[in-house]
């Protein structure tokens, strides 16, 4: 496991649980609006590789927090590109923690394996745009069919899950939002997140704009027609 960081405590990132967040290094997407390029771009990762945290240190930390924390969030980067992720998740589960995975959904085969192994209790999948528009927004490694497969896998699974999207005025047109609404229809939960301009992987995105709070609520209202729980996250 390539582990780039840890947040020892959060009450916000795993619904209903007190948790730690473990961040993995590297990603198979190149989202222009990414705020953590140092954890994504190989040449930037190379500069911090000496600061990566050994898996044994993470497991020892979690062992010391048994009875104090109830959950662990594994985030990134994109965790599913780690070849030993499933075994790592099993080790966390064996310590008695609930496990939440943050993923971009581009590896449905991993999600199937992890669900079959009962290694996950909650999945948060970023749903960045309509499935067919993924490569244009996040790069050529995104596969529309895989995004759609992960989406439907979550909808039909018995694990708790959510979809979430960061909305950008210059990207998420009415046509695109309508396509996302159709694709996500029947999901349990969908969270809309405001875009934060500033440091971004692609400089052009730093000049893009968020929707206002009122505009985000209006968009949320549309999604509530097909999804029972839709909320706006700041």
User: pLDDT tens, 109-126?
Assistant: 999 999 999 999 999 999
| Res. 36 pLDDT band, cuts 50 70 90 | confident
Tell me: pLDDT of 102 over 80: yes
**Do 193 and 156 touch, CB atoms closer than 8 A?**
no
The tally of domains found in the chain comes to 1
| Res. 97 pLDDT band, cuts 50 70 90 | very high
Inside any domain, residue 178: no
* CB burial readout 91-126, b (16+ within 10 A) else e: bbbeeebbbbbbbbbbbbebbeebbeeebbbbbbbb
Tell me: pLDDT of 180 over 80: yes
Q: What is the CATH number of the domain that holds 77?
A: 3.20.20.70
Inside any domain, residue 93: yes
Percent of the chain exceeding pLDDT 90 equals 89
pLDDT of residue 75: 97
Inside any domain, residue 85: yes
pLDDT of residue 86: 98
Tell me: pLDDT of 93 over 80: yes
Tell me: pLDDT of 155 over 80: yes
The mean per-residue pLDDT over the stretch 181-196 comes to 97
pLDDT of residue 49: 86
Q: What's the Rg (C-alpha) of the chain?
A: 17
Alpha-carbon distance of 232 to 234, in angstroms, equals 7
Quickly list H helices, the chain.
42-48, 55-64, 85-94, 108-116, 134-138, 144-155, 174-184, 213-223
pLDDT of residue 40: 84
| Res. 223 pLDDT band, cuts 50 70 90 | very high
Inside any domain, residue 109: yes
Domain that residue 23 falls in: 3-167
pLDDT of residue 135: 95
Alpha-carbon distance of 184 to 188, in angstroms, equals 9
Tell the residue number behind the tokens 């965790």, with chain if given.
79
Inside any domain, residue 72: yes
pLDDT of residue 67: 95
Dihedral, CA atoms, 80, 81, 85, 86, nearest 10 degrees? Answer: 60
- Reduced to 3 states, what is the DSSP secondary structure of residue 224? coil
pLDDT of residue 183: 98
Inside any domain, residue 145: yes
Inside any domain, residue 24: yes
Alpha-carbon distance of 92 to 203, in angstroms, equals 37
Alpha-carbon distance of 47 to 42, in angstroms, equals 9
**Do 81 and 25 touch, CB atoms closer than 8 A?**
no
Inside any domain, residue 52: yes
């Amino acid at each position: 496991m390539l582990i780039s960081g840890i947040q020892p405590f959060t009450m916000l990132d795993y619904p209903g649980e007190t948790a730690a967040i473990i961040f993995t290094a590297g990603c198979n997407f190149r989202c222009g609006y990414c705020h953590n390029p140092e954890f994504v771009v190989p040449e930037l990762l190379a500069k911090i590789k000496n600061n990566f945290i050994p898996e044994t240190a993470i497991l020892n930390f979690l062992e010391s927090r048994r009875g104090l924390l109830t959950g662990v969030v594994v985030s990134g980067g994109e965790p599913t590109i780690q070849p030993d992720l499933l075994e790592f998740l099993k080790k966390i589960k064996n310590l008695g923690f609930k496990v939440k995975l943050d993923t971009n959904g581009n590896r449905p085969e991993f999600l199937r394996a992890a669900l079959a192994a009962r290694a996950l209790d909650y999945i948060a999948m970023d749903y960045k745009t309509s499935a067919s528009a993924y490569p244009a927004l996040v790069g050529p490694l995104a596969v529309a069919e895989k995004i759609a497969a992960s989406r439907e896998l979550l909808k039909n699974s018995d694990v708790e899950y959510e979809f979430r999207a960061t909305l950008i005025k210059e990207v998420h047109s009415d046509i695109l939002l309508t396509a996302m609404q159709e694709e996500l229809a029947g999901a349990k939960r969908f969270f809309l997140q405001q875009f934060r301009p500033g440091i971004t992987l692609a400089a052009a995105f730093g000049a893009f704009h968020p929707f206002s709070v009122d505009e985000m609520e209006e968009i949320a209202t549309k999604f509530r027609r097909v999804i029972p729980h839709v909320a706006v996250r700041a």
